[in-house]
Copies of this chain bind each other. A is one copy, B any other.
Amino acid sequence: MSLSHAILTALLDEDLTGYALAKQFDVSLGFFWQASHQQIYRELKGLHLAGSVNVLEVPQHGKPDKRIYSLTNQGRQMLDSWITQSTRHRGAKDELFIKLFNVGSVPVEQVTEAVAQRQAEHARKLELYRKIEARNYASPSTLPDRKKGVYLSLLAGIRQEQTALAWCDDALDLLGTVKA
């Protein structure tokens, strides 16, 4: 049920269209909660029906009309009460670990290859996070309150990637000792 809360949260700062929300999800919130545009459009419809968001239709020529969503008081209240509820998280479902459990039964190169690919992904993500950090959070000690949570999320992302990268190195070393 909390794609809805993620959307409401994104609407705290600014009014957005479904399209813009989907893009936001690709960069900030989406690091910890990805969602496809189809999902977002569907959810927005539900939130509107429930009275948690308002819509402003902006006609355009050629393209479909823009539908700009904004938080209602009810939506804000919904967030407020959700915050007090228990925090759920589904641990990542990661096939890489299933593959690792197969070492010894399948050709090890395939697993090595998967780890190497993952390593590249982590490196790419870390670089991206670092860029965001440099651009927006150069001096974390002077952050306004409402930015502190976002900064902490970014920090979590950075450290996760660093840890994962270091692990990839060690994993490749150990996998190198496995007889094909």
- Residues on A lying within 8 angstroms of B by beta carbon are 2, 5-6, 9-10, 12, 28-29, 31-34, 76, 79-80, 83-84, 87-108, 110-111, 114, 117-118, 140, 144-153, 155-156, 159-160, 162-164, 166-167, 170-171, 174-175, 177-179
Contact = CB atoms under 8 A, between A and B. Distances in A.
A99 B105 CA distance: 43
Given A89-B93, A92-B92, A94-B32, A83 B99 contact: yes
Given A33-B98, A79-B102, 17 more contacts: A29-B97, A32-B94, A33-B93, A76-B105, A83-B102, A89-B93, A90-B94, A97-B156, A101-B150, A103-B149, A103-B150, A103-B152, A105-B146, A140-B174, A148-B175, A155-B171, A160-B160
Given A87-B117, A96-B87, A149-B111, A101 B9 contact: yes
